[in-house]
Structure formats: structure tokens, C-alpha cells
Chain A
Amino acid sequence: MPSMNTTFPLLGDLTAQEQQGFLRTLVQTRHTAEEVLFREGDPGDYMLLILEGNLRLSRLAPSAEEIRLADLGPGDVVGEMAVLSPAPRSATATCLGETTVAWLSRDNLLERLVLEDRAAGILLRLCTEQVSTRLAAVRTRIELLGKALSGESSPESDAQLEELIRMEAGPISENLRMWLERR
């Protein structure tokens, strides 16, 4: 049985009891190590809430090398953007061990919103806020990198970009690494 103590930041200020009540209404499935829950390019219109165990998100580089994007655990969610705006998956999700997830499809979310389900509303609000934060961060990166590439950067923006690259993991640093290798 999955732990009933897992709480989800994306369910905001719902109490642990309210969160569990919401999670109990979702379909839950249990998986074994190495099982792939979805692959890069698969149609995506649902999100997964990790109740127990761990998932690895990865994608394939043009060289066919696997790029590890993130390891996620209980309380994390995967594919929340697909619920808001369905699109092919940008990564593959693989179980790292015994893993239990709860499934929330876009249709299910819409039904809940029509019924004024509070948990679904909170989830939606926090997901969109998260997207907005991500968008602001990517725009900052574009601005900094664009300035640097065009030679319009200042010592301050160079320092910001340097810090950003040092902190980055995943596809962005991978792209920069590939760029360096082509020199």
C-alpha cells in the first residue's frame, strides 16, 4: 500500500487529510523497477502524482545518448503541463524501483473543475503559477544568453549567465556542452 503520509506541494494548503481524500478518488497503479510509464513523443494528456517510489525523467540526445533530466520521488508530479495543454511527451518516465502513482487526466480535471472540486482548483492554480514562473525564468535566460551571443552583455549580465549555467542541470547544460564540443 502506498504511504498515506505523502503530501504534494502542488495541492497547496489542503490539509494532509484533504489531500489523501483527493488522492483516493484517483486511479492508482503500482509499477516495478525499469517499467516505463510513458516515452518521449507519446501523446500526453494526463499527469502522474508520485505516491511511493521514484521515477527518472530522461530524453535521448541526437547522438542517442540518454540524458538524465531529473529523479523524482513521493510528493512530486510529472506531466502537469500536459493536463493544461496536451502535447507529445518531452521526456521518458521510468520507474527506478517499486513505484505507485495516481493518475489525473485532463478530462478528469475538467470534470472536477465543473463540479467546483476545491483540490482540482488549487492544483490548477498552482500548476499555472509554476508555468508562469518557469516562463519568466526561460525569458531571463534568453535575454542573458541573447545579449552574450550578440556581444551586448555587461559584466553584470555575464556574471548572471555564468551563475545560471553553473546551476543548470539537464537539457540546457547538455546543449551548452554539445555546443562546446562542436568548437
Chain B
Amino acid sequence: MSTPRGVGRVDTLVGCPLLTALPLRVLQALAPRFEATELDTGDLLFEVGGRSASLFIVEKGDLELEGAEKSMGRISRGGFLCEESVLRPGTHKTSARATSPSLVLSMDEQTLSNLWAIEPASAAFLQLAIGSRLITELRRANTQFVSLCEMPIDEVENTGMRRILKVSSNTEED
């Protein structure tokens, strides 16, 4: 069973790659805004299909990300999850389960929104860190998309796809 337990520690934020470039005074301001939750081995932090509106940072322990019938990766101390959710809440596409006794920090969308009103500079630097991370993801995704577009046509088995591309070609020629 997960249990809320106190607030975040600055040294955990300092060790998180998402936040490592932020000034110490910003991290000191952010730390008490994070909520700490204790998990026993086997506890779920979140479940696939559940609402995703919080950024998570692992302070202690390990989490396994579970997709449909398979592991999607492991997150340990300093690792972070769902950073996009505080900007764009959605639904979890995986579940996260503790594989050892763990302590996880979280900040939800509402807390970040409130922070903009009371400590705009701290909120701004957190938003900037998340924004930089999303841009890295966007650049990677664009590269992946272009790679898919450059896939040799003879590797495409799907006749439906050939039809779509034919339509696209005709449209552009028009």
C-alpha cells in the first residue's frame, strides 16, 4: 500500500537528471512542493489507464514499468517519470510497480499551476527543465518519424500503405 510521507529532499532533486541544471536555490524552493510516497515491494505507484497528472522522481528503491505482459524498463534512484503529465495530463500507458521498498517524490499539475502564482521564478525554471526535456524527445521523435518515412518501399508489406502513399503522391502532383 502506498503511503504519503513528508516532502521532497533537495539532494534527491540535485541528483535527478531532469533537474540537475537548475540553480540550487530553485531546487531548495521546489523540494517542499514535492510529496514523498513510500511503497513496499509489489506496490503500484500508478496503473495503466489511470489518470496521469504528476511528475515522479525516485528517491529510494526501484520501480518496474509494466506494459501489456512485459516489462518496459526499470527506474531507480534519481530516475524520473511522467514529466509531461504536469503540462498535459493524460492517462498512463504503463503501470509502475515497486520492486524493492521505495520512496517516490511527486508533483502534480495543480501544484505546478499554484506555484506559478506564489513562486513564479521556481515554477518557470521547473517548466523550462521539463520543456527542454520535451524538446529533446520531440527532436528524437522527428528523427524516428523521418527514418520511418525513409524506409525502403520494398520493405513495406502492407498494400494498404502503398495505396495511401499513392493517394498522397497523386494529391501532391495535383
Contacts and interface: CB of A to CB of B under 8 A. Distances in A.
Contacts of A150: 157-158
A179 B161 contact: no
Interface string B157-171: 110110011111101
B24 interface: no
A153 B158 CA distance: 8
Contact of A85 (B116, B127, B136, B168): B136
B131 A116 contact: no
B138 A180 contact: no
Contacts of A115: 121
B141 A132 contact: no
A5 interface: no
B150 A178 contact: yes
B138 A134 contact: yes
A173 B168 contact: yes
Nearest to B155: A149
A85 B145 CA distance: 20
Interface in A98-147: 110, 113-116, 118, 120-121, 124-125, 127-129, 131-136, 138-139, 141-142, 145-146
Interface of B: 84, 87-88, 116, 120-121, 123-125, 127-128, 130-132, 134-139, 141-142, 144-146, 148-153, 155-158, 160-161, 164-169, 171-172
Given A142-B144, A150-B157, 6 more contacts: A115-B121, A124-B131, A141-B145, A158-B161, A161-B161, A179-B151
23 contacts: A84-B135, A85-B131, A85-B135, A87-B139, A113-B128, A121-B123, A124-B128, A125-B116, A127-B131, A135-B138, A139-B141, A142-B144, A142-B148, A151-B158, A162-B167, A165-B168, A172-B149, A175-B150, A176-B165, A176-B168, A177-B168, A180-B168, A182-B153
Interface of A: 81, 84-85, 87, 110, 113-116, 118, 120-121, 124-125, 127-129, 131-136, 138-139, 141-142, 145-146, 148-151, 153, 155, 158, 161-162, 165-166, 171-173, 175-180, 182-183
